[in-house]
Structure formats: C-alpha cells, structure tokens
C-alpha cells in the first residue's frame, strides 16, 4: 500500500468515526429530555402551574408526540439551525449560543496558546536537565510539583486565585468580562493544570528522544544547543504534543463550565450551569450539543494534523 493510499484511508476512517460520534452526541442530547427523571415542563413552570398550562406547553414543544416523531423533528430542527426556545428567557437557543460562543472560544483558545508552548517548553527543558539519570532531586521535585498542580481541579484553582488576587490582593477583577485584565485569572485557572500534564508527558517523551542515536550523533558534531534541541529533538515530540494538545483543548472547553461559573464569565460554560439549575432543558440540550461538537471537531482536526506530521501514524491500526 502506498503512503498516499494509507494516509487517505486513515483520513477516511477518522472522518467516519467523527460522523458516528456526532450522531451519538445528537441522539444522546435528544434523549436527555426523556432520561432525566421528572417532567421538565412541570419543573420549568412550577409545581403550582395549572394542568391546562402544562399540557399546552407540552403540546407546543411536541412532547406529546411519539418518540420517533420527536426525534425526526429534532433532526430537522438541527439541520435548519433551530434548537428550540429557552424556557426561562423565551429567546431562541441558537441566539443565546451565538451571543455566548465567542467568549468561550476566546478563553479556551488563549488558554491553549499558553498551554502548548509553556507545557512543551518546561517538559523539554526538564528532559534536557534530567536525561541520563542526571539531577535526581530536580527530577523528583518536578514530579511532585507537577503532580500537585495536575491533581487540583480547575474550580479549586479558580477559587484560590480569586481569593488571593481579587479579594486579599485586589489587583484583578473578580468577575465578568470587563477588559484585558478580566482574562488573567480565568486563563490562569484553566492553564495551570493542563500545562503541568503536557510538561510531564513531554518530559518523558523527551528523555526517550534524547537517548536516541541521532541525538548522540548531533551532539558529537558539536552543534549548538538550539540546533540540537529545537531542530532535532522538538520535531520528534510533535506527534505526542499534538495528541495531548487535542485532548487538552477538549478538557479546556469542558473546564470552562466550572471556571466560567466561578468568574461569572459570559460564555457557554456559565450558561450551562444556569440552564441546569433552572431546569431549562432546551437550552441545556443546545449548549451540551454545541460544546460536545466543538470537542469532537477539535479532536478530528488534531487526528488529521497528526497524520500530516507523522505519516507513520496512517499505517497503524486505528
């Protein structure tokens, strides 16, 4: 099999998996209304709402129709961009998502722009410092520090940063999107853990790369360290970095749910928490579907980048 055919086959398999995953996501988001215990219409209108009003709302939402008809109407609505109407605000769900999506994407995108160079840089530096069994104390200290940072949930980091830099030391705004300073605390809360995860993985892979024969050959040629580490070592870490980077971006988008809630960030994450607490199921459906779709598409793009960067990945069994 030629390299081109292998790469085309790998891309085709990944795109098929993406379509299947999207279908499963759409189906699960539809079933959300029927799997959650209780009557969502009664919950949204209140326990004292007249039965006639509850039945009228169920009929307006199509919840009195057979399940397969509801599913078909749901797919038709998705195809036309119709995600329903919010129970609480009476606004179209698509409009709410369009208003809040830029804030979430800007936060997650900036966090990834911090995580990738910071995590990869620290990981490669620690690999250089601790390779071949050198400096075991530095190795142990790095493992301990990065392990602690990795184990801390994003919302715990967010609360700690808020208490320190917005309450005890009122240097930064505590909530909302009011200017460039508003990004500092949410970005720090989102970036610290993933940076530590990426640094640990890059360090392990970097130590393996530095022990390869071509690295010893480059050192024997007395090349300068930028040429050795940036030109020879770093490119061989790209596959692992891209793989973890895709997973990290997915976790960053998921992590925005709690971090945005802590900082009252006007994005999709804070809207999810609010929609769940208000039992606003149409809005919850639309938000979960949007966030899940972003994560799946990002992972698919990363897979395609890996195939482009490392042709050998297309020859592996998927």
Please write the tens of the pLDDT for every residue from 215-258: 666 555 565 656 566 665 666 666 667 677 777 777 777 778 88
Report how far residue 298's alpha carbon sits from residue 138's, in angstroms, rounded to the nearest whole number: 35
User: Mean pLDDT, the chain, as a whole number?
Assistant: 79
**Taking the alpha carbons of 208, 212, 218, 220 in that order, is the dihedral positive or negative?**
positive
With bands split at pLDDT 50, 70 and 90, how would you rate the model's confidence at 88? confident
Burial class (CB in 10 A: 0-12, 13-18, 19+), 270: buried
Between 130 and 144, residue with greater pLDDT? 144
pLDDT score of 315:
44
Q: Percent of the chain, pLDDT > 90?
A: 3
Range among 12-21, 43-52, 155-164, 183-192 with highest mean pLDDT value: 183-192
Matching CATH number, 97-315, of 1.20.950.20, 1.10.3720.10, 1.10.260.40, 3.40.50.2020? 1.10.3720.10
Give the CA angle between residues 25, 31, 36 to the nearest 5°. Answer: 120
Lowest-pLDDT range of 90-94, 239-243, 281-285: 239-243
Q: Which tens digits make up the pLDDT trace of 175-188?
A: 777 788 888 889 99
């Amino acid at each position: 099999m030629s390299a081109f055919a292998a790469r085309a086959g790998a891309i085709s398999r990944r795109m098929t998996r993406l379509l299947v995953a999207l279908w499963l996501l759409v189906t699960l988001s539809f079933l959300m209304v029927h799997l959650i215990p209780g009557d969502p219409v009664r919950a949204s209108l209140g326990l004292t709402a007249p039965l006639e009003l509850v039945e009228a709302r169920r009929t307006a939402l199509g919840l009195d129709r057979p399940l397969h008809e509801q599913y078909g109407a749901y797919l038709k609505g998705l195809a036309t961009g119709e995600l329903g109407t919010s129970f609480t605000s009476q606004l179209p769900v698509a409009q709410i998502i369009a208003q809040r999506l830029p804030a979430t994407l800007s936060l997650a995108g900036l966090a990834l722009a911090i995580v990738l160079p910071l995590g990869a840089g620290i990981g490669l530096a620690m690999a250089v410092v601790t390779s071949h069994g050198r400096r075991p104390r530095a190795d142990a200290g790095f493992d301990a520090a990065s392990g602690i940072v990795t184990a801390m949930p994003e919302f715990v980091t967010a609360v700690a940063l808020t208490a320190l830099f917005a309450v005890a030391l009122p240097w930064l705004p505590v909530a909302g999107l009011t200017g460039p300073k508003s990004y500092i605390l949410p970005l720090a809360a989102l970036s610290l853990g993933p940076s530590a995860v990426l640094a640990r993985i890059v360090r392990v892979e970097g130590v393996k790369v530095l022990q390869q024969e071509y690295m010893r050959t480059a050192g024997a040629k007395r090349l300068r360290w930028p040429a050795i580490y940036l030109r020879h070592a770093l490119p061989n870490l790209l596959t692992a970095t891209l793989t973890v980077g895709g997973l990290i971006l997915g976790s960053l988008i998921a992590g925005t749910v709690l971090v945005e809630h802590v900082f009252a960030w006007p994005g999709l994450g804070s809207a999810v928490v609010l929609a769940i607490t208000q039992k606003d199921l149409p809005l919850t459906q639309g938000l979960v579907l949007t966030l899940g779709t972003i994560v799946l598409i990002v992972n698919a793009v990363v897979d395609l980048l890996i195939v482009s960067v490392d042709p050998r990945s297309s020859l592996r069994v998927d």
